[in-house]
Amino acid sequence: MDAPTQAMEPHDGAVLGRLNWLRAGVLGANDGIVSVAAVLVGVAGVTVETGPLLTAGAAALAGGAISMALGEYVSVSSQRDSERALIALERRELEEDPEGELAELEGLWRERGLDADAAALVARQMTEHDALAAHLSLELGIDEQTVTSPWQAAWASFLAFLTGGALPFATILLSPHDLRVVVGVAVVLLALALTGALGARLGRAPWRRPTVRVVIGGAIALAVTYGLGAALGVSGLG
């Protein structure tokens, strides 16, 4: 493998973490685009007047962003509590049975293909350097220094959804009345194509299939909500 290719590979844990956060932000923005656009297009199936669209769009934007933030906070809090419990357990085991933990570390390295001598050497050196970090990383896949903050995750989700949702909200409200649905749908599908391609790129996957999936999914959501709005409007229930 040549040097330029190696340089592009994200071996560093901090880089991987940032890429994951960025990809999560893109997906959160994608959720905001689809959710808010679907609500607005559904209302537009009944009326394209500014008042109802402004009210529905603002409610969808605020409610969706808060819901995303709350869901992320609860999810990450549960994950963090579990990680902290595992860290505390591992720390206690190292204090109570250091030799047993060293033997366990040697066994883990042997399972990964090292011979007995090499496994013993690596395990001892890692233990001398930072026994807790060695066990957390190799045994549990946890880095004590990068346990996610639920508040950080909540704010990231809130802002990502808000950013994505602001696009269809502004587009539909600022478009001429008779073109609101057409312009809104076109801009939303274009934005979904961009976020789908970007998300795939950040995940180091081919971009075409994920982009097509997200655009088709968004188009279906918009068609369904517009159809429901139009049907309810004709029936007099809207």
Contact 165, 61 (CB under 8 A): yes
Q: Which range of residues forms the domain containing residue 130?
A: 13-233
Question: Which CA distances in Å does 20 have to 16, 25, 133, 134, 173?
Answer: 6, 9, 22, 23, 33
Does residue 8 lie within any of the structural domains? no
Mean pLDDT over the full length of the chain: 83
77 located within any domain: yes
**Sole residue written with tokens 């369904």:** 224
Q: Is residue 75 part of a domain?
A: yes
State mean pLDDT over 78-93: 85
Q: Identify whether the C-beta of residue 25 lies closer than 8 Å to the C-beta of residue 199.
A: no
Distance of CA 187 to CAs 38, 135, 143, 164, Å?
13, 49, 41, 12
Q: Which pLDDT value is given to residue 2? A: 45
Using CA atoms, how far apart are residues 44 and 92, in angstroms rounded to an integer? 60
CA angle 172, 174, 180 (to 5 degrees): 40
Do residues 11 and 196 touch, judged by C-beta distance below 8 A?
Answer: no
Q: What is the pLDDT of residues 107-135, one digit of tens each?
A: 888 888 888 888 888 888 888 888 888 88
Report the C-alpha gap between 192 and 128 in whole angstroms: 50
Look at residue 66 and tell me if it is in a domain: yes
pLDDT exceeds 50 at position 3: no
Let me know if residue 2 belongs to a domain.
no
Assigned domain for 5 exists: no
71 to each of 5, 32, 161, 164, how far by Cα in Å? 38, 14, 12, 17
The predicted model gives 232-238 an average pLDDT of 62
How many domains are there within the chain? 1
The fraction of the chain above a pLDDT of 90, given in percent, is: 36
Residue 142 lies in a domain: yes
Q: Which pLDDT band holds residue 220 (cuts at 50, 70, 90)?
A: very high
Task: Assess if residue 238 is contained within a domain.
Answer: no
